[in-house]
């Protein structure tokens, strides 16, 4: 009787051992799935962080180009806008299609510019020492800008709210308005386009 009880206990132990192995395999499978999921989630977060970094770099580059365009306005002599000359980056106030040789209406808000524009070489801000334009100097690529004549009165180019937010010229004073569009990019196809209204001092 005692021998039989021992045998039953032995069988029970062997059955428990098989169940433990099955549960261990289940836990191993669950941990493997969680590990793979965690790795994919981590990779996705790295990609998202990288994209944010490149978008920020593209924004910084576009701001650099925009400042270069605003400095260009300070050196404008005469009136390069009217009549409009082919091949330059100055456009008249009435320009609605910046590249009439292509189908559709081309605007500075388009991601790809097929019309004439000025080019600015960006400095090596990120410090990687890479020469992207082949001139022998390290840089972060290039940017483009165009300048459009906005007229001699803010109300002709922008809304009254913009006029009030920039300045309130005396009656009869003349201000020259310029519409500036600048764009630049970074790695992974990041690109930013910035626009600003530049107003000269009242005459």
Q: What is the pLDDT of residue 138?
A: 63
Q: Please say whether the beta carbons of 58 and 185 come within 8 A.
A: yes
Q: What is the pLDDT of residue 42?
A: 86
HEC letters along 130-184: CCCCCCCCCEEEEEEEEEEEEECCHHHHCCHHHHHHHCCCCCCCCCCEEEEEEEE
Tokens 């005396």 belong to residue: 170
Q: What is the pLDDT of residue 194?
A: 93
Q: What is the pLDDT of residue 150?
A: 84
Q: What is the pLDDT of residue 2?
A: 47
Q: What is the pLDDT of residue 63?
A: 92
Q: What is the pTM of this model?
A: 0.68
**Which residues in the chain come in under a pLDDT of 70?**
1-17, 125-127, 131-136, 138-140, 153-174, 201-203
Q: For strand 139-151 and strand 90-91, is the pairing parallel, antiparallel, or unpaired? A: parallel
Residue 35, CA distances (Å) to 29, 32, 38, 64, 106 in order: 10, 5, 5, 43, 49
Pairwise CA distance, residues 56 & 17, whole Å:
58
């Amino acid at each position: 009787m005692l021998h039989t009880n021992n045998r039953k206990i032995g069988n029970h132990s062997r059955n428990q051992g098989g169940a433990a192995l099955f549960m261990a395999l289940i836990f191993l499978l669950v941990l493997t799935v969680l590990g793979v999921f965690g790795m994919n989630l981590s990779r996705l977060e790295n990609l998202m962080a990288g994209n944010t970094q490149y978008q920020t770099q593209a924004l910084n580059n576009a701001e650099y180009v925009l400042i270069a365009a605003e400095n260009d306005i300070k050196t404008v002599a005469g009136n390069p806008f009217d009549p409009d000359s082919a091949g330059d980056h100055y456009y008249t106030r009435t320009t609605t299609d910046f590249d009439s040789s292509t189908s559709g209406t081309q605007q500075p808000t388009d991601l790809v510019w097929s019309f004439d524009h000025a080019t600015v070489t960006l400095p090596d801000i990120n410090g990687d020492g890479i020469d992207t334009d082949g001139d022998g100097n390290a840089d972060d690529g290039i940017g483009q800008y165009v300048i459009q004549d906005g007229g001699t009165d803010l109300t002709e180019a922008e809304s009254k709210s913009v006029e009030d937010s920039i300045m309130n010229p005396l009656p009869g004073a003349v201000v020259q308005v310029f519409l500036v569009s600048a764009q630049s990019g970074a790695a992974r196809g990041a690109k930013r386009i910035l626009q600003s209204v530049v107003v000269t001092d009242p005459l």
